[in-house]
Chains A and B, each alone.
Chain A
Amino acid sequence: MSMIEFHDVEKYYGNKFHALKDINLTIDRGEVVTIIGPSGSGKSTLLRTINGLEKITSGQLIVNNMDLADKKTDMNRTRRDVGMVFQHFNLYANKTVLDNITLGPRLVLKQDKAQAEKKARDLLAMVGLADKEKSFPSMLSGGQKQRVAIARSLAMDPKAILFDEPTSALDPEMIGDVLQVMKKIAEQGMTMVVVTHEMGFARQVGNRIIFMDDGKILEDSTDVNDFFSNPKEARAKEFISKINNHMEG
């Protein structure tokens, strides 16, 4: 069953910049899709259209059976079911870790305090931060913040989670912890769309890979290892060879 469907989607910023070009893409429930590509290729824009942080210019975008281009669609209802994890965490600076996680469930899902806090504590334990519930975000490391952000998004019981370069702002030694948590979520069957530069994650956890360049989807493969060893498009070949060189160098 499909979770996200793009049909002939175009996105312009202003009149000039053509950010997404003729996007056709269907993501099924339970898929873990990684999106890779050079900077400015439209990966983040594509991701942000899925929960309406960016509006599409034309075409059709259906998320969780709701048509996002339709003015009657309640975006808040859509966002409730589609979580998002940001590169810069975007934790609420004025709230404790626990309140960061419970705010959505209490205000949006109308859960009572005890119920929301119990769930939040379970999630904090799951991401390995049970002792941080009273901390403010400013007291946490980047890796800890990102794990709280993941817990915050899980607290809404979403049907899918979008990850926008979740490890790009982290120190190298913090990345592993965050990827471990993401792997755990993937194993529980969550639909995930992950914009990342972590090729290891794409290979080990992802079951589908999309390569974007210049606003277009150039490759879309469910055989992730095959994509890395035999990329078909010239741009993808070049991109992968550059990453590999970087790794060896």
Chain B
Amino acid sequence: MFDILTNNWGLLSTGWGYTIMCSVLALIGSCVLGTLFALMEISPYKWVATIGRVYVEVVRNIPLLVITMVFYLVIPKYVVAINGFTAGTIGLTIYTSAFIAETVRAGIEAIAKGQMEGARSVGLTYSQAMTQIVFPQAIKIIIPPLGNQFINLVKNSSVLAFTSGFDLMYQGKIIASTTLDTFSSYLAVGLLYLVLTLPLSYLMRYLEKRWQTA
């Protein structure tokens, strides 16, 4: 088992690097997109809310692998050439953004309507009321489910294995087929995922506690 780790460290560390890079990019991208679509969903303008709603419902009800394949196979063929890593990362970003949108929307809606009305009644604009009053309170509600989304995102980055994205899972497959020691290969891969997700899990728990008392 340790032989697998040491003998193939080059491949594994490369894969690990790609997994981390994909996760960080998709995390930032999906948080931005997710918040944007959450704000659209609760928009007072009906047509904006409808666009947000449709995006979330369509994206979260299609398997991640299908979305990723669209970017890996369909987009390069008809629109623009992108490599497997990019396609996988975009697919993962889009997919996760729908779940983050739902998390953020639920958090904002859990803050009583009165908070918004109180702020608007002194003449604050909608965006001032959101950023000063509603969002700082919603974040405490959003953090725990958001942590789940982040952990899922890191694990879901293994979809890159299907798009030749050079990630951890992709390298694991190669090692398994060359060494024929599938058990140890995937065990090593699993361990390296844990090294990423466990600290993330603890970080989210820490943030949750910190925000709760603040």
Q: Are A83 and B122 in contact (CB under 8 A)?
A: yes
Q: Are A93 and B123 in contact (CB under 8 A)?
A: no
Query: Which residues 70-115 of B have a CB within 8 angstroms of A?
Result: 112, 114-115
Q: Are B121 and A93 in contact (CB under 8 A)?
A: no
Q: Are A86 and B122 in contact (CB under 8 A)?
A: no
Residues on the B chain within 8 Å of A91, using CB: 118
Tell me the bound Cα distance from A95 to B114 in angstroms: 15
Stretch at the interface among A5-13, A73-81, A121-129: A73-81
On chain A, the number of residues with a Cβ less than 8 Å from chain B's Cβ atoms is: 26
Q: Are A76 and B124 in contact (CB under 8 A)?
A: yes
Given that A76-B125, A93-B115 are contacting pairs, would A53 and B137 also be in contact in the complex, using a CB cutoff of 8 Å? no
Q: Are B115 and A88 in contact (CB under 8 A)?
A: no
Residues on the A chain within 8 Å of B114, using CB: 86, 88-90
Query: Which residues 100-151 of A have a CB within 8 angstroms of B?
Result: 103-104, 107-108, 149
Q: Are B120 and A79 in contact (CB under 8 A)?
A: yes
B32 within 8 A of A: no
- Closest-by-CB residue of A relative to B132 is A103
Interface residues on B, range: 10 to 19
- Closest-by-CB residue of B relative to A92 is B133
B119 within 8 A of A: yes
A191 within 8 A of B: no
A204 within 8 A of B: no
- Closest-by-CB residue of B relative to A156 is B122
- Closest-by-CB residue of B relative to A108 is B123
* Interface SS majority for chain B: helix
Tell me the bound Cα distance from A83 to B118 in angstroms: 10
B117 within 8 A of A: yes
Residues on the A chain within 8 Å of B137, using CB: 93-94
Tell me the bound Cα distance from A210 to B195 in angstroms: 69
Q: Which of A84, A88, A107, A152 contacts B132 (CB 8 A)?
A: A107
B14 within 8 A of A: no
Q: Which of A83, A86, A103 contacts B124 (CB 8 A)?
A: A103
Q: Are B115 and A76 in contact (CB under 8 A)?
A: no
Given that A90-B115, A94-B133 are contacting pairs, would A107 and B121 also be in contact in the complex, using a CB cutoff of 8 Å? no
B43 within 8 A of A: no
Residues on the B chain within 8 Å of A108, using CB: 122-124
Max chain B C-beta neighbours (<10 A), residue from A86, A93, A152, A156? A93
Q: Which of A80, A88, A94 contacts B122 (CB 8 A)?
A: A80
B177 within 8 A of A: no
Tell me the bound Cα distance from A49 to B115 in angstroms: 18
Tell me the bound Cα distance from A89 to B121 in angstroms: 12
Residues on the B chain within 8 Å of A167, using CB: none
Given that A92-B133, A93-B137 are contacting pairs, would A53 and B123 also be in contact in the complex, using a CB cutoff of 8 Å? no
A153 within 8 A of B: yes
Residues on the B chain within 8 Å of A153, using CB: 121-122
A51 within 8 A of B: yes
Distance from A135 Cβ to chain B, minimum over Cβ atoms (Å): 16
B128 within 8 A of A: yes
Residues on the B chain within 8 Å of A84, using CB: 117, 121
Q: Are A156 and B117 in contact (CB under 8 A)?
A: no
B136 within 8 A of A: yes
- Closest-by-CB residue of B relative to A152 is B122
Distance from B68 Cβ to chain A, minimum over Cβ atoms (Å): 39
Q: Are B122 and A53 in contact (CB under 8 A)?
A: no
Q: Are A53 and B121 in contact (CB under 8 A)?
A: yes
Beyond A84-B121, A92-B119: 19 further Cβ-contacts under 8 Å? A53-B117, A53-B120, A76-B125, A77-B123, A79-B123, A83-B122, A86-B114, A86-B118, A90-B121, A92-B118, A92-B133, A93-B115, A93-B137, A103-B132, A104-B122, A104-B124, A107-B124, A107-B132, A108-B124
Contacts from A to B (Cβ < 8 Å)? 51, 53, 76-77, 79-80, 83-84, 86, 88-95, 103-104, 107-108, 149, 152-153, 155-156
10 A–B contacts from the bound complex (CB under 8 Å): A76-B123, A77-B123, A79-B123, A84-B121, A89-B118, A93-B115, A95-B133, A103-B119, A107-B132, A153-B122
Contacts from B to A (Cβ < 8 Å)? 112, 114-115, 117-125, 128, 132-133, 136-137
What 10 A-B pairs have minimum CB-CB distances, sorted nearest first? Answer: A90-B118, A104-B122, A80-B123, A84-B121, A90-B114, A108-B123, A79-B123, A94-B136, A92-B133, A76-B123
